[in-house]
A and B are shown apart, each in its own frame.
Chain A
Amino acid sequence: AIQLTQSPSSLSASVGDRVTITCRASQGISSALAWYQQKAGNAPKPLIYDASSLESGVPSRFSGSGSGTDFTLTISSLQPEDFATYYCQQFNSYPFTFGPGTKVDIK
Chain B
Amino acid sequence: EVQLLESGGGLVQPGGSLRLSCAASGFAFATHAMSWVRQAPGKGLEWVSVINGAADTTFYADSVEGRFTISRDNSKSTLYMQMDSPRAEDTAVYYCAKCRRTSCQMGGGFDFWGQGTLVTVSS
CB atoms of A31 and B107 under 8 A apart: yes
Q: Is the CB of B47 within 8 A of A96?
A: yes
A50 in contact (CB, < 8 A)? yes
Closest CB of chain B to A28's CB: distance in Å?
14
Give the contacting residue for B50; candidates A38, A45, A96, A97; CB below 8 A: A96
- The interface on chain A, measured as residues whose beta carbon lies within 8 A of the other chain's beta carbons, has a size of 27
A46 CB–B CB distance under 8 Å: yes
- For B45, give its contact among A31, A93, A98 (CB under 8 Å): A98
Q: What are the residues of chain B within 8 A of A33 when measuring CB–CB?
A: 109
Segment with Cβ contacts to A, from B9-17, B70-78, B110-118: B110-118
> How many angstroms between the C-alpha atoms of A96 and B114 in the bound complex?
18
0/1 interface trace, chain B 97-110, chain A, CB 8 Å (1 if under) = 00010001101111
Residues of chain A contacted by B100 (CB below 8 angstroms):
49
Contact A98 B44 (CB under 8 A): yes
B35 interface residue per 8 A CB criterion = yes
A28 CA to B43 CA, complexed, in Å: 26
* A contact residues around B112 at 8 Å (CB): 46
Give A22 Cβ to nearest chain B Cβ, in Å. Answer: 16
Q: Which of B3-61 contact A (CB under 8 A)?
A: 35, 37, 44-47, 50, 59-61
Given contacts A96-B47, A96-B50, A101-B44, contact A91 B111 (CB under 8 A): no
**A residues lining the B interface (CB < 8 Å):** 1, 31-34, 36, 38, 43-46, 49-50, 55, 87, 89, 91-101
List, sorted by A's number, 12 A–B pairs whose CB atoms are closer than 8 Å: A32-B107, A36-B110, A38-B45, A43-B114, A44-B45, A46-B109, A46-B111, A49-B109, A95-B60, A96-B104, A99-B44, A101-B45
